[in-house]
Amino acid sequence: MGKFGPIDERLGTPLYPGFYRTTPPGFSRLQRLETGAQRLQRGVIRPTSGNYVRMPKDILHTKPNSTQLLDLSKTQIKKIGGVSVSGNTAGFAYTATTSSITWYWDGTNGSRVLVITRADGSKFTVPTSGSGLTVSGLSSNTTYYFLPFWSVNNTCNIGWVPGTHGSPQIAFVVADTTDPVNNPTYCMQQTLQGREALTNAYMTAATTAAGSGGGGAGGGGGSGSGCVRSGTVVKPLGEIDFQCDVLPETDWIYLETEEGKELFCTCDHPLYHAVNGKVEADTLVVGDLVITDEGEQKLVTVEPYSKKCSKYRVRMATGHLFFANGFLSHNKFLPP
């Protein structure tokens, strides 16, 4: 007990400010700590007047090696400009009647499981819950447009930009896509904070005039047909006769090996992995060994790439194997 009350042994000062006659030692240090310290009031961080503040720990992402990085997907981060892009390298498919469209992304009905490739090179497989989503209340023989996205803070199901038609109301009509006022807003909603666009444009589907039908999606969400970009050097094994159908395409995978071989192909183009055998292009990652006309070669680049162009669909009367720019490939067999 000191002259003016109990003593804080760490600071050598009275615990009760009312007993102070002069500024005690250490008081200015305590004042600085108090000024800069964050505190919560009803769950909200109160502002401080200090020059330095702490960040909430939940906006940091801790990697396996204990490195901490800012997680831009968190709601505490304010997104104003653009951020690094991501790309979906798989595809939707749909079935249709005269008044409804049903979307699939679970590998059934011609669809493929959605895989997002992110700016850091990681791949994320979108959950298939919710696949088989039916949009009803549509007009017959009409093309509709859709804008799907993945919400990184959802972890449950994909989202859809609210549209103008259908139930649920997630479908757009052609007039919406050409509307100079509202159309830009519709498209921007795919990439709002915490959202990753699952197509690089509107995804299209059409109701039937009668009966039922279906197909792959447009707008970068289609299931593709296992092709290579126009201009690719095609050399069938055994000098088998072949022909190439030239078709439009937007979504590609760009592959480059350590030795400099390059190939632009569709996401589902069949190639040959040195260990796993025949695989589709969008399952490959940097470091994989692929079979080429010069043996096994390591991939140094695997990147999604979007550009409106044309592709070769290779048709062979017999056999299925050919080299595409030196990459051993498998055709999608179609009778000549």
Looking at residue 312, its pLDDT comes to 84
Highest-pLDDT range among 42-46, 75-79, 167-171: 167-171
Residue 334 has pLDDT above 90, yes or no: no
Lowest mean pLDDT among 183-197, 229-243, 322-336: 322-336
Burial class (CB in 10 A: 0-12, 13-18, 19+), 123: middle
Pairing relation of β-strands 60-62 and 44-45?
unpaired
Q: Which domains are seen in the chain, by residue range?
A: 7-70 (no CATH), 87-216 (no CATH), 228-330 (2.170.16.10)
Phi, then psi, of 254 in degrees rounded to 5: -100, 125
Between the CA atoms of 137, 143, 145 and 146, what dihedral angle is there, to the nearest 10 degrees? Answer: 60
Pairing relation of β-strands 40-41 and 295-316?
unpaired
CA distance 303 to 33: 49
Lowest mean pLDDT among 189-198, 208-217, 251-260, 291-300: 208-217
Q: Which two tokens stand for residue 244?
A: 């190439």
CA distance 271 to 265: 10
Residue 326 has pLDDT above 70, yes or no: yes
Burial class (CB in 10 A: 0-12, 13-18, 19+), 104: buried
Query: Please, what's the b/e burial string for 46-56 (b: 16 or more CB within 10 A of its CB; e: otherwise)?
Result: eeeeeeeeeee
Q: What is the mean pLDDT of residues 30-36?
A: 62
Residue 182 has pLDDT above 70, yes or no: yes
- Closest listed residue to residue 137, CA positions, set 176, 175, 171, 93: 171
Looking at residue 309, its pLDDT comes to 80
CA distance 289 to 276: 10
CA 97, 99, 100: angle at the middle one, nearest 5? 65
Separation of first and last alpha carbons in the chain: 102
Q: Give pTM, 2 decimals.
A: 0.48
Q: Which two tokens stand for residue 307?
A: 């550009």
Looking at residue 218, its pLDDT comes to 45
User: What Rg do the C-alpha atoms of the chain give, in angstroms?
Assistant: 29
Note the pLDDT tens digit of each residue in 126-155.
Answer: 888 889 999 999 999 898 999 999 887 766
Q: Is the peptide bond before 304 cis (omega within 30 degrees of 0)?
A: no
CA distance 151 to 15: 52
CA distance 93 to 118: 23
Q: What is the mean pLDDT of residues 291-300?
A: 94
Q: What is the mean pLDDT of residues 162-167?
A: 96
Longest dimension (CA), the chain: 105
Lowest mean pLDDT among 85-94, 146-155, 168-177, 274-283: 85-94
Name beta bridge partners: 295.
292, 293
Looking at residue 29, its pLDDT comes to 66
Q: Give the whole-number percent of the chain exceeding pLDDT 70.
A: 67
Between residues 105 and 238, the one the model is more confident about: 105
Looking at residue 21, its pLDDT comes to 55
With beta carbons less than 8 A apart as the criterion, state whether 105 and 221 touch: no
Phi, then psi, of 190 in degrees rounded to 5: -65, -30
